Chain A
Amino acid sequence: MDAPDKPAGPLIRFENVGLRYGAGAEVLRDISFDLRAGDMVFLTGPSGAGKSSLLKLMYLALRPSRGLVRLFGQDVSTLPRPALAELRRRIGVVFQDFRLLDHLSTFENVALPLLVRGEQLKNYRQDVLELLEWVGLGGRIHARPSVLSGGEQQRAAIARAIVSRPEVLLADEPTGNVDPALARRLMRLFMELNRMGATVVIATHDPEIIRATPGATVMHLNRGFLQFHASEDGLPLQEAPE
Chain B
Amino acid sequence: MTPPPNTEDALPSAAHMRRNLLPRMHAPMRTFMVAVLTMVWLAALAAGALLLLRQAIGVWTEGVVAEATAQVLPLDGERAEQTLARARRVADALAGQPGVRETRVLSPAEGRALLEPWLGDSGLALNLPMPVLIAVRLDPRGPARIEDLRRVLKERRFANVMLDSHGRWVRELSDLASTSLLLGAGVLVLLLLALVVLVTHAARSALEANRGVIEVLHLIGAQDRFIARQVELHFLRGAFLAASAGIGLAWLTFALLAFLAPAVGIRESIREVFFGFGEQTLQAYLIWLLIIVITTLVSLTAARISATRILASMFHENG
Contacts and interface: CB of A to CB of B under 8 A. Distances in A.
Contacts of B22: 103
B315 interface: yes
Contacts of A113: 220-221
Given A107-B11, A115-B17, A115-B18, A129 B3 contact: yes
Contacts of A63: 315-319
Contacts of A102: 23
Contacts of A85: 218, 221-224
Interface in B1-46: 1-3, 7-8, 10-14, 17-18, 20-24, 26
A195 interface: no
Contacts of B77: none
Contacts of B225: 82
B226 interface: yes
Interface in A101-119: 101-105, 107-108, 111-113, 115-118
B13 A121 contact: yes
A68 interface: no
A88 B219 contact: yes
A61 B225 CA distance: 18
B163 interface: no
Interface residues of B, number: 38
Contact of A160 (B10, B220, B314, B318): B220
Interface majority SS on B: helix, strand, loop or mixed? loop
Interface string B193-235: 0000000000000000000110111111111111000000000
Interface residues of A, number: 44
B317 to A, nearest CB: 6
Most buried by B among A82, A107, A120, A164: A107
A136 interface: yes
Contacts of A129: 3, 7-8
A139 interface: yes
Nearest to B224: A81
B12 A108 contact: yes
A185 to B, nearest CB: 13
Contact of A120 (B1, B14, B213): B14
B117 to A, nearest CB: 70
Interface of B: 1-3, 7-8, 10-14, 17-18, 20-24, 26, 212-213, 215-226, 314-319
9 contacts: A22-B318, A63-B317, A99-B216, A99-B219, A102-B23, A115-B21, A121-B13, A133-B3, A141-B3
Interface of A: 19, 21-22, 59-63, 65, 81-82, 84-86, 88-89, 93, 99, 101-105, 107-108, 111-113, 115-118, 120-121, 125, 129, 133, 136, 138-139, 141-142, 160, 164
Given A63-B319, A89-B221, A141-B3, 16 more contacts: A60-B315, A62-B315, A85-B222, A85-B223, A93-B220, A99-B216, A102-B23, A103-B23, A105-B12, A112-B216, A113-B220, A118-B226, A133-B3, A139-B1, A141-B7, A160-B220
